[in-house]
Structure 1
């Protein structure tokens, strides 16, 4: 048997242009796993050696994990004959590289450590790329950032235009300083510092500088009863198309249009792109894919069954380590405490799970995307307020957005998937649409268990 001709599919994993896995490769992986599963080793132990470029036939794994590893990393080099999976060697048909497998029998941890430390293991294919410059929007961002990082005045080493402006904006937010007061503070700073300087002349100029960096926000008018958003095709409506409540407050001024209710939305896509534009976070966005952990120990969501099941269901998405895994959490709170009148608002927070445990679920990487205004609980109408976020999530899942990875110096199409929601049981009912009170409140057993009514005296 001519292994090289028969098994060329082993090293032709992805389609041209890196648009997903080849059907021939996926079928070949299925045949390989089926072949390995009839061997005595699997029959006795229910595990087989993994021949991916990471494990290199050193580690035993279950067939599902082996298939997933092969989708992600492909077969190790020159493994034409499956000698570690029960296949006999035909010397006349195949020549093996002498250094490819001479160390595989036995789990030599020291050798593995040396290979990993000096980078001798085969790199994943997404690393083997030519260096590219940023795409247009990323290039504009870097140029703007560079210009904003000029000294505040000639010879100043303590602050740049951007750092000074951000400090002043932070002070305004922390102490709730009025805009007029900020204008006077900027004017006083401008006169006190050497001329010429780059101190913003007013609060408006400071806002304009910060907004150019790309992390803006949108103000979206809402129906006072939460029936709809004045958004997309409904943006020009003057009243709710469901309850017919007027959009704007009554006013004696003919041109005054003050909305009765408004929500703030902070776009998610620019924030995800920033994670790859920043050197401090870009390289960590592949951590869940590149770092091997001890089997059977869960130290990160990627070690869990839900993550692995998702990878098996969507292997093309899983094969690209920079694709982002997201979670949503939401809960209501009273911003005025218990001393004021009843009022609650609901923040919607999106969390990035690609990052290592030391960064995952920390404040800088938990993105506030929207604040659902009160004063009442949105209840089953929460999906109305989630429309802008859902539109972005659909875009990230279906088409993706071109993003520049500063750690690898090239552009790629960023996609994302919403893995799960995190909430208490009442909020779970709101987000899922499932009734979490009454006879059929259990979302797991549905109608298969009897309910019990408790009487409290």
Structure 2
């Protein structure tokens, strides 16, 4: 089935027809819960269920997740080998499969049993009593994804967590500090690295370039310059001009290969 429409502009006729085909496929193949289905828009990421009307609206308001080319959450079975589609696909896969993956990995594959118990609890614990769309684990993962995409500082992310904690109902399980949020994710190998980059994308400041302050290709500064407002002269180096958020793929592939049902599709 042609899915090139997923990369088309949302206002195009091609995209409109593609959405209609997708919704028909959902109605014929996907399993519903109270007439709701997983929504593959870039906001819901197949973690939140919507009725067909809202699903249709989300696909036009937010767009479909372009890496979701195999509709496994809507009844499609993958028989042929699957090629690698990069870190973005890995992240999307993990975003929707965390709870299932944890159970399949099993306690023996964790160094300490308490890590396994903690992950199981976080994957089952509702964000707040009576709410089922997000668990403590999936909510934390989605917030970290927003942090990475929008380049939030640790300080601003902690402030957001504190605000959300106050806004949510009592007894909510959302982490209140970035340290606590990292503890939720890191046992599953979801660490990330921040790497300085040239503003023109010439180089990454790693390995032989790690100590450089200027790009060896274009000569631009690695850091933003601070200026003294009184003298209008340059001061010390400021924040990095550009930062790449790197999500190491190897730990994620290890987790994916540990899921027996999916292992054959990854070879």
Q: TM-score, structure 1 length as denominator?
A: 0.26
**As a proportion of its length, which structure holds more helix?**
2
Larger radius of gyration: 1
TM-score by length of structure 2 reads 0.41
Q: Which has the higher contact order (CA 8 A, sep 6+)?
A: 2
